[in-house]
């Protein structure tokens, strides 16, 4: 399997602008720029936000897989990924997940999420500290 994305950039760093397009076209000439990356006052995306989205999605799917493999009934999972930047370095990612799952207690849910924190594909390619916290909101009947 191969997945692709393309970036186009015109102009200098601060005044220039770019477009991102993904293979699936979910991003299709989506704006990104210095302003969307560092100032946040313009509509568009940035590499760190895309990394956060990729990590949240990968981690949540890894938790779903582990729950499914245990034969448990999963109603929902919601994850927020926070990518931390210091200067021009990404220094860590924190994943916060909330789940509604039957047949599991909070300690078991946290154990599953800790395994996923280290083993989802995005976590494996990042060479930075990754942390997570889990909250089981309900056990569905």
Each residue's pLDDT tens digit in the chain (141 positions)? 899 999 999 999 999 999 999 999 999 999 999 999 888 778 999 999 999 999 999 999 999 999 999 999 999 999 999 999 998 899 999 999 999 999 999 999 999 999 999 999 999 999 899 999 999 987 665
Q: Annotate 34-56 with b (16+ C-beta within 10 A) or e (fewer).
A: bbbbeeeeeebbbebbbbbeebb
Burial (0-12, 13-18, 19+ Cβ within 10 Å), 87: exposed
Parallel, antiparallel or unpaired: strands 73-86 and 89-102: antiparallel
- Strand partners of residue 22: 5
pLDDT at residue 58 in the model: 97
pLDDT at residue 140 in the model: 60
Say which DSSP state 37 is in: I
pLDDT at residue 141 in the model: 59
């Amino acid at each position: 399997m191969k997945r692709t994305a393309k970036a186009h950039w015109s102009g200098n760093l601060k005044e220039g602008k770019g477009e991102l397009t993904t293979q699936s076209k979910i991003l299709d000439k989506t704006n990104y720029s210095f302003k969307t990356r560092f100032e946040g006052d313009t509509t568009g995306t940035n590499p760190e936000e895309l990394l956060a989205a990729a990590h949240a999605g990968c981690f949540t799917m890894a938790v779903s897989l582990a729950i499914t493999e245990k034969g448990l009934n999963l109603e929902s999972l919601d994850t927020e990924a926070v990518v931390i930047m210091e200067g021009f370095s990404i220094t860590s990612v924190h994943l916060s997940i909330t789940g509604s799952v039957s047949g599991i207690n909070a300690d078991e849910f946290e154990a599953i999420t800790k395994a996923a924190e280290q083993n989802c594909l995005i976590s494996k390619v990042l060479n930075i500290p990754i942390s997570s916290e889990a909250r089981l909101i309900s056990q569905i009947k």
